Every structure is written in structure tokens, then in C-alpha cells.
Amino acid sequence: MASFIRRQVILTLFSAALVLCTAMAQLSPAFYASTCPSLPRIVRSTMAQAVNREPRMAASILRLFFHDCFVNGCDASILLDDTATFTGEKNAFPNGNSARGYEVRSSTPSNPTSKLLAKRPCTCADILALAARDGVALLGGPKWRVQLGRRDATTASQSDANSNLPGPSSSLANLISSFAAKGLSARDMTALSGAHTIGQARCTTFRSHIYSDVDVDPGFAALRQQNCPSAGGDDNLVPLDLQTPNRFDNEYYQNLVAKKGLLHSDQELFNNGTQDSLVRLYSVNARAFARDFAAAMVKMGAISPLTGTNGEIRLNCRKVN
Ligand code: HEM
């Protein structure tokens, strides 16, 4: 029985790796080198302006990319607006009144009328991948080479957005399995969760953790309760990272070791479980975290991309052509 299970696990890992490798093989950092060489520069300067205006924008765009990739692949489906005849993902439970940053995306030229991109417009999915990387780098985080060549979806799925994205009350087992379903390891999951070193969360997402969980530092719980009453104030915001919410560093893991994780799901990574030793490593070794985060972002960005002639190059990111 044990060897059967082991064989199944190895087979599953192997097929996940194969899917990932096939996807990677179709994407390339040089995809726009001849057709649109200025694309990375345009995205970088748009992000620099946006993050300069509001540092949180780096966090919001990073989260948009995660929420896009986890729902049927990195295909910009999250950017499609709802219409009378089309239900997109923007109002799915994890996104509605929560995901933000859509407007930065729209201000990056991506249509054929733009002079710079006239020869061949790039896709919304690729712009989102570049923007997520640039936002992290602008707040002092690692850089990585973004694989490009994704096409844009012509469909979206609100129900998949509701079921595929892990929620803040997830257990460690849930977190590991929801990332495994996307071909990402527990190590990838723990490194990617370090994205919570930037950005903010609403009271409704962490209330039960600071009032009812036992794996919380009492002083930290009391501090957060000041901005998050036991009833009401659902949309009150607090930073996910206690001290440096606008700096992409490894403090998130130091918080977890001190039992100062904001979300229940954050603290699950350091609660006498399998990820404790990795959290400890990242808490003292910022380089190990930066390296693993960058590698995991490349893997996440390769989840089920549409390539070749699949999908389309959307002229307006908010609607199908
Ligand atoms: C491991 C499972 C995860 C869970 C359960 C989770 C859950 C959440 C929740 C509940 C919020 C606050 C949303 C709100 O208050 O409206 C949030 C914010 C955020 N999440 Fe996650 N998340 C996870 C993984 C990730 C990953 C993998 C990334 C990116 C790589 C990410 C990036 C962010 C960022 C940057 C924010 C702040 C956004 C902002 O300030 O606009 N999260 N997350």
C-alpha cells in the first residue's frame, strides 16, 4: 500500500513537472525582443509612477497576478469586466471589494493604436506578469526574468475563482493542497506567502484570528483589535506586515516566528507544522527567501498559459475583442 501511494505521489509530481516544463518551453523572456522591445521599459515606468504615488499598488498588482494565475492559468481573465451578458471574476468572493489595481493595468498601453506597440500589441496577461515583478523590485524585493508569450483568455470563471483561491481561514493542509493542485510545492507556497510582507488586509479577513485563535501573541492581538472591533468595521485596513508594509523584506517570517502573523492562514505556516523550519530559515536568511520567492513566481507565472494561437491579444484588457 505504502509503495502504491509513493508511486502515485511520484507520478503526480512527475506529471505536474511535465505540465510546468511544457508551459515554460512555450514561454520565453525574449518573446517581444523583435516585435516590442520597449515593453518592459513601458511597464516599469508605469509601475514606478503608480508605486511612487501609492506604494500599496505594488502589493495590489502582485495579488492580482496571483488571483489571475490560480484561476485557469495566467490569462488575464481577472481583468474582464462583468456585463449584462458576461460574468467575470472581479466579483468572485475573494476579489469583490478586495482585489484592486485594475486601473494601473488599463493605463499601460496595450492596444494597436499605441505608437510604441504598433507593430504587435502585447497581451494583458504578459503585462500583468511584468508589472507584478516590477512592483516587487520597486519595494526592494528580488528581480527575476519574466517568461513571456502568454495570450489572453476570452472567458472567465467566477465559480472557479470562488473555489480555487485559498481563503484566510485555510489550514496548512488546505494551503498545501490548493498550491499542489497548481503544480506548486509546499516550499513554493511558503515562499509565495511571503508576498504578505507588503500590502494590507481588511478586518473581516483576520477578525477571527485575533479574537479566537490561540497561536497569537496577546500584545499583537490587542494592538490589531484597536483597528478591528469584534463587530463592525469590516473594511478597516491594517498592514499584513507589522513594521515594514511598504518594503519587500523577510520581516513577514520574523512576525510568524513571533506569533504575529495577521491572517490565520499566515500563522498556519508556523504552528508546529511541516513548514516551521522553512519559516525559521527565511526569518534569518533574507537571501534564501528572495531566491525562493523569485523562483516560485516564475513557476506560478507558468500555470496553464494560453500560447500560440489560443486565446487572443485583447485590445482592451477589460473586455474580449
Ligand atoms: C497562501 C494562501 C493565501 C491566502 C489565504 C491569502 C489571503 C489574502 C487575504 C485574505 C488578503 C487580504 C484581502 C483583503 O483584505 O481584501 C491578502 C492580501 C494580499 N495577498 Fe494574499 N493570500 C495568499 C497567498 C498570496 C500569494 C501567493 C500572493 C502573491 C504571490 C499574495 C499576495 C497578497 C498581497 C500582496 C496582498 C495585499 C494586497 C493589497 O494590499 O492590495 N497572497 N491575501
Whether ligand 1 lies within 6 angstroms of the CB of 26 is answered as no
How is residue 272 written as a grid cell?
Answer: 508546529
Determine whether the annotation assigns residue 261 to a binding site: no
* For the chain, counts of helices (H) and of strands (E): 14, 2
Displacement of CA 294 from its chain's centroid (Å): 12
For residues 97 and 259, what is the distance between their CA atoms, to the nearest angstrom?
A: 28
The verdict on whether 209 is a catalytic residue reads no
> The domain 172-176+182-298: what is its CATH number?
1.10.420.10
Find out whether the beta carbon of 133 lies less than 6 Å from any atom of ligand 1: no
What nine digits make up the cell of 247?
518594503
DSSP state string for 221-244: HHHHHTTS-SSS-TT-EEESSSS-
The active-site residue out of 63, 67, 105, 260 is: 67
**Distance between CA 124 and CA 76 in Å, rounded?**
6
Same fold, 20-165 and 172-176+182-298: no
71 is annotated as contributing to ligand binding = yes
245 vs 255: CA distance, rounded Å: 12
Query: CA nearest 153: which of 88, 249, 214?
Result: 88
Tens-level pLDDT at each residue, the chain (321 residues): 444 443 443 333 333 333 333 344 489 999 999 888 889 999 999 999 999 999 999 999 999 999 999 999 999 999 999 999 999 999 999 999 889 988 765 555 444 334 434 444 789 999 999 999 999 999 999 999 999 999 999 999 999 999 999 999 999 999 999 999 999 999 999 999 999 999 999 999 999 999 999 999 999 999 999 999 999 999 999 999 999 999 999 999 999 999 999 999 999 999 999 999 999 999 999 999 999 999 999 999 999 999 999 999 998 899 999
Query: In angstroms, what is the span from residue 63 Cα to ligand 1's centroid?
Result: 6
Domain range annotation of the chain:
20-165, 172-176+182-298
Residue 169 and residue 178 in contact, taking contact as beta carbons nearer than 8 Å: no
Q: End-to-end CA distance of the chain, in Å?
A: 52
Residues 6+ apart with CB under 8 A from 185: 179
CA distance 295 to 262: 25
d(CA 94, CA 148): 26
Helix (H) or strand (E) holding 150: none
Task: Report CA dihedral (277, 283, 287, 292) to the nearest 10 degrees.
Answer: 50
* Ligand 1 atom 11 nearest Cα: 201
With a 6 Å cutoff on the Cβ, whether 146 touches ligand 1 is no
Q: Cα–Cα distance between 107 and 43 in angstroms, integer?
A: 10
The third-level CATH classification (topology) of the domain covering 20-165 is Peroxidase; domain 1 (1.10.520)
Provide the grid cell at 315: 485590445
Residue 152 phi, psi (nearest 5): -90, 145
Q: What is the DSSP letter of 185?
A: -
Cα 200 to ligand 1 centroid, rounded to whole Å: 8
- Ligand-binding annotation for 75, yes or no, is yes
Q: Say what the pLDDT of residue 108 is.
A: 56
**Helix (H) or strand (E) run with residue 22 in it:** helix 2-26
